[in-house]
Copies of this chain bind each other. A is one copy, B any other.
């Protein structure tokens, strides 16, 4: 007779109901259920994991709304929200994973999760770096920066590069990739602390606090008197409008995110798109999911950079699953400095 694993308590972050307008901490609630630490019989292809680190990402707040035609699905009210995380496999019905494996990928905001679609779950092979890095620089965000910069921006040495939300998980990496290639790199962020980080820690040539600039167009003109070759777009809205008039001939915009717009009932209008013609700009949206086949190539590039100190990475770590809702909502007020991570368990 099979030994049935004990039932344990399982703390979860539950979405109360669909959100309209700006999401609040109180749209989520911490509940404690129970779970058997064993997959139900016949759970083919599923894995049961213990969550260790969770990633807080702006796009998650979009998923709290009732979405119709989006690339991500809405969360389910009454159920735990989901996101990227690092976890330990406790039980596996999937041939690629076995008990004890460490993985990163989509999991639940809870202590234990059953992952039924491990197609986008990656086994962690290199553990001589902090495990939490797989929620960011070695996970989806690192890949996003890598793909967005190298595959979309057509970068070359000497290019003038501007990055918005530059101290975030993706922005800080894009800037460092650009510096490694010999570009001139400027980033914008929303606090003095972040601006200092960009200049002193991540090696950006310049950085500015967009909240202190009355005229974003003029600010960009100041930092890019000759214009911008590459804009890595994370924020949208007014910043995009200001960037458009500062683009150079044959420049590129990689559209990665538009955080300033996610919680608006109607996105702001962008008025300066005619610049796409006058400056012959290529503006291209992308989603990292389309490029996961490049993950091994990415690791080959990034791991030596991390170990050799050529790439710096800053995390903002919140302790305990209970702190997760505040950490998530804090992204929109720019509370975090660096990549926002939640530690669920350190094992």
Q: Is A76 an interface residue (CB 8 A)?
A: no
A285/B290 in contact, CB under 8 A? no
> Closest approach, in angstroms, between the C-beta of A148 and any C-beta of chain B?
11
Closest chain B CB from A273 CB (angstroms)? 6
- Which B residues are CB-close (under 8 A) to A266? 271
Contact check, B286 vs A236: say whether CB atoms are below 8 A apart: no
* A257-279, CB < 8 A from B: 257-258, 261, 266-279
Q: Say whether A287 faces chain B, with CB atoms less than 8 Å apart.
A: yes
In the complex, are the beta carbons of A277 and B285 less than 8 A apart?
Answer: yes
Q: What is the chain B residue whose CB lies nearest that of A264?
A: B271
Q: How large is the interface on A (under 10, 10 to 19, 20 to 34, 35 or more residues)?
A: 20 to 34
Asked whether A268 lies within 8 Å of B268 as measured between CB atoms, the reply is no
Check: A127 CB closer than 8 A to any chain B CB.
Answer: no
Residue picked from A257, A268, A282, most chain B C-beta under 10 Å: A282
A283 and B280 contact, CB distance less than 8 A: no
Check A286/B277 contact, CB under 8 A, given A69-B245, A245-B69: yes
Given A277-B285, A282-B283, 17 additional A-B pairs, CB 8 A: A255-B277, A258-B273, A267-B272, A267-B273, A267-B274, A269-B271, A275-B285, A276-B284, A277-B286, A278-B285, A280-B284, A280-B285, A280-B286, A280-B287, A281-B284, A282-B282, A283-B284
